[in-house]
Structures are given as structure tokens and as C-alpha cells.
Amino acid sequence: MKIVTAEAFKEERCRALETSALTSSVDDTVLNIIQTVRKEGDAALFRYTEQFDGAKLDILELSEKEWERAMFKVDPNVLGALTTAKEQIEQYHRLQKEKSWFEQVRPGVTLGQKVTPIERVGIYVPGGKAVYPSTVLMNVLPAKIAGVKEIYIVTPPDREGNISPSIIAAAKLAGADTIFKVGGAQAIAALAYGTETIPKVDKITGPGNQYVARAKKWVFGDVAIDMIAGPSEICIFADDTTNVSFAAADLLSQAEHDEMANAICVTTSDSFAEELQKEVAEQVKQLERYEIANASIEQFGRIIIANNIEEAHDIINFIAPEHLELMNEDAVSSMQQIQHAGAIFLGPYGPEALGDYVAGPNHTLPTSGTARFASPLGVYDFMKKSSIIHYTEEAFMREADAVATIANAEQLTGHAKSVLIRKEFFQ
């Protein structure tokens, strides 16, 4: 892991943004896949699944038999832990549910907001380098709480064309309708435009690698998306009081997701930085997913030395990380200075992995600095609102002239007429 100053890190990030062209080679690949799926439908999905996942399929939809068999195959301990996670995720997300409201706000004027669920949702569950039953729960459960009627999961199969029993069990526990064995940009295109087998949905949610994240960006507008939830990121704020082994383990817990994952530590202590560098180099060797974690650490791992706490807060806000662990002495004060982060973990007993699985908040979080404007996935992502407006005759008469005046100022005399015609009628 490279040790750099806050200033050098900022320069490096800005340069990377400047030099990244508007469309990259990933975009070229993704756009080509999207266009091909729109043109060829299922045939393109079968071809891409063979090309990228090595699986030769005849049918995309998971069969009844596969659903049933998975419940016998899944490890009972895993099922037990998933059930605990389900209950705790539901408990947290139920608190997010918004209600419709109607209120008399002025004499004779009742206004309101009617909240309704999105009808049909497609959920991307990653499956290239790991299997993510936790992502099934994190996406399906808030959709269920919102009242979404149709929930379709897409996820890439393994080389034999199978979906992991733990994914199927999680989908059953959470109440998803169907699983389609397709991943990557092709799955996003299928959900956005529909194919012979896969229904076109109203919204796509869920995380994925850079191909998935870019595909979601390209189909946005033809379909709604939740956010850009790409390769995982962790940022740790540490000082001399931080346990160096904990910090190293937590950095590697996210680096093992993907070669493109970002693991960063910000610290005010030179000696901690040096110790951490050594500890990460030691711990990475012991990881089963050494290749992935080491590639991520080599390429994107950084230990940033800040001159003081203020500079540390500033650089964290600049990064706007997906996950932030405040492992410094006064974590609560620091939390108050952080404006931009997907999820904030406080203190030494808050490894990010808690939030990935059982704490309750959602683990589908904004990445690549988008925490500056985006929020964690929640029940609100699966709901929409309609404004409700009702006037009595008296209230209408009182406000009609204001409408006509503004309409005329906009030279929209038809608008003015629609109120004046009523005014004349009722007078």
C-alpha cells in the first residue's frame, strides 16, 4: 500500500478524473452488448452467458425443481444465519416506510402525497468472483416492504449453468418471484428493454462490477436505476489509538471483493502508517483470495497522511467513500464532521462486514464518490409519490386570479382561460 500525503492523493484523483475519457473501453463493450440484446433478445443472452460465464444454457429461468432442490442443498447453518440477517434487515427497513398524507393546508385547500410502490423491479445480484446471498436480502426485502408486486432477480450462473443454493434460498426467504440465470451488462439490458423470457421492468437495483455499473448508467432514462453501486470501497480513519491488525483486516475485507475495489486509510500518525503498511503486506499473504486482494491493494490501496484532524475530515469528505470506519479516538466528533459517506461505522467493534450481513442497514451503497449525492438503497427506492390537490369553490375563487396573472405573464393564455372560465361560471 502506497503512503501519500493528502495533497498528493487529491492531485492523483483529480488527474485520474481528467484523463478518464467520457467513454472508456468498458463503455464501448457495454454499449455493444446493450444494442445486441435489444436486437437479438434471448439469443444474445445465451451467447454472452457462454462467452463470459462459460455456461451453455437452454433455459434462462430457474426451474421449479432447482428451487426445491436448493432448499435441501443449502447448509442449515447458512440458512440460519440468513434468517437472522433477514429479520434484522427487515426491522431496520420497516422504519423507512413512508405513509401517504392528506392535510387541509389553507381554508378550503386539501393537499396530499399518495405513496405507491413501483410495480415491477429487477434486481442484479453479482456472481462473477463471489456469490452474494446477502445482496439478495438487501435488495428484495426493502422492495417487499415497499409493496412491490413483481420482483425478478438476475445473476450469472456458474460454468455448469447452476445458481448457488445459498442465492436461491435467500431469494425464497425474501420472497422474490423468479431468478434468471444471466449476469453482466446483458442482464441489465434485458431488464431495461425486455426479451422473450425476461420482462421489462420499471426499475433496476443492485450492485455489480464495472460492466454492470456502466450498463445501469447507460440504460438510465429508459428505466429507473437506484444508483451507481460499483466495486466496493472502504476508507478507515485511524490514529495512534487504532488497532493496526483490525485496520488491516478491514481494508482487506473489501479489497478481496474485486481487483477494482478501493481500500484507503487516512491517518494523522506517521508511525501508524508505517505499521499498517507492514501489517497489510503480511495479512494479504494469508488470504484465500490473495490474487484479487493483492491486485486491489497494489493498484488502489493508499495510506493518506493528514497533517491534522481537520485535514483528515476534509480528505474523507473529498473521497466520499462507500464505507467509512471511524477507528480514531473521538469517532463521534469525527462523525459530525463527515458529510459524504455511504455508511459510517463507529469505534473498534464496527468492522464493515457487520454492515455487509447482519447489522440491518443496507449494504447496497453509492460508490465512486457518488455518496456526495446518493444514499444507501432503501424502501424509499421502491416507492414513488403522487401529489393530491383538492379545492373548494370558495378557495378556487380566492386563488384563481393569481393563476391567471402568472399564466398571462408566461404568455400561456390557455392556462389563464382554464381558471377564468370557471370563475365566470360560478360567479
Catalytic residues: 322-323
Number of Cβ within 10 Å of residue 104's Cβ equals 13
Q: Which does 256 bind (CB under 5 to 8 A by kind): ligand NAD, ligand HSO, Zn ion, none?
A: none
37 three-state secondary structure? helix
307 annotated among ligand-binding-site residues: no
Minimum distance from residue 229 beta carbon to ligand HSO (Å) = 7
Pairwise CA distance, residues 162 & 171, whole Å: 15
The torsion angle over the Cα atoms of residues 318, 323, 326 and 332, rounded to 10 degrees, is 90
What mask of x and - would describe binding to ligand HSO in positions 311 to 350, judged by CB under 6 A? -----------x----------------------------
- The C-alpha atoms of residue 148 and residue 344 are separated, in whole angstroms, by 29
The answer to the question of whether 258 is labelled as a binding residue is: no
Please return the burial class of 136, using the count of CB atoms within 10 Å of its CB with bins 0-12, 13-18 and 19+: buried
CB neighbourhood size of 103 (10 A):
10
Distances (CA, A) of 366 to 220, 320, 323, 380: 16, 9, 9, 15
Q: Which residues lie near ligand NAD (CB under 6 A)?
A: 29, 52-53, 126-130, 132, 135, 156, 183-185, 207-209, 211-212, 229, 231-232, 257-258, 260-261, 322, 363-365, 367
Q: Which of 223, 228, 221 is nearest to 199 (CA)?
A: 223
Distances from the Cα of 364 to the Cα of 128, 342, 343, 399, 402, angstroms: 17, 9, 10, 46, 46
Selected binder of ligand HSO within 53, 279, 325, 356 (CB under 6 A): 356
What is the distance between the alpha carbons of residues 325 and 235, in angstroms, rounded to a whole number?
6
Residue that the C-alpha cell 426467504 belongs to = 173
Site string for Zn ion, 344-383 (x = CB under 5 A): ------------x---------------------------
CA 313 to chain centre: 24
257 annotated ligand binder:
yes
* 127 to 156: interface string for ligand HSO, x by CB under 6 A: -----x-xx---------------------
Nearest distance from C-beta of residue 168 to ligand NAD, angstroms = 16
Backbone angles phi, psi at 242, to 5 degrees: -80, 140
Is there a contact between 248 and 333 (Cβ–Cβ < 8 Å)? no
In this structure, the strands spanning 109-117 and 101-106 are: antiparallel
User: Between residues 55 and 170, which has the closer beta carbon with respect to ligand HSO?
Assistant: 170
CB of 215 to ligand NAD, least distance (A): 9
In the bound state with ligand HSO, the residue whose beta carbon lies nearer, of 74 and 189, is 74
d(CA 396, CA 386): 21
Tell me if 93 is assigned to a ligand binding site: no
Which one of Zn ion, ligand NAD, ligand HSO, none interacts with residue 184, CB within 5 to 8 A by kind? ligand NAD
Q: How many chain residues are in contact with ligand HSO, going by CB under 6 A?
A: 9
Q: 239 or 322: whose CB is closer to ligand HSO?
A: 322
Residue 357 annotated as binding site: no
Asked if 239 touches Zn ion (CB under 5 A), the answer is no
The Cα 218–Cα 192 span in angstroms is 10
Q: How far is the CB of 131 from Zn ion (least distance, A)?
A: 13
Q: How far is the CB of 287 from ligand NAD (least distance, A)?
A: 15
CB of 220 to ligand NAD, least distance (A): 16
Task: Tell me whether residue 415 is annotated as binding.
Answer: yes
Residues at the binding site for NAD(+) are: 124, 186, 209
Residues of this chain that bind ligand HSO (CB under 6 A): 132, 134-135, 232, 254, 322, 356, 363, 365
Residues at the binding site are: 124, 186, 209, 232, 254, 257, 323, 356, 410, 415
Residues at the binding site for Zn(2+) are: 254, 257, 356, 415
Residues of this chain that bind Zn ion (CB under 5 A): 356
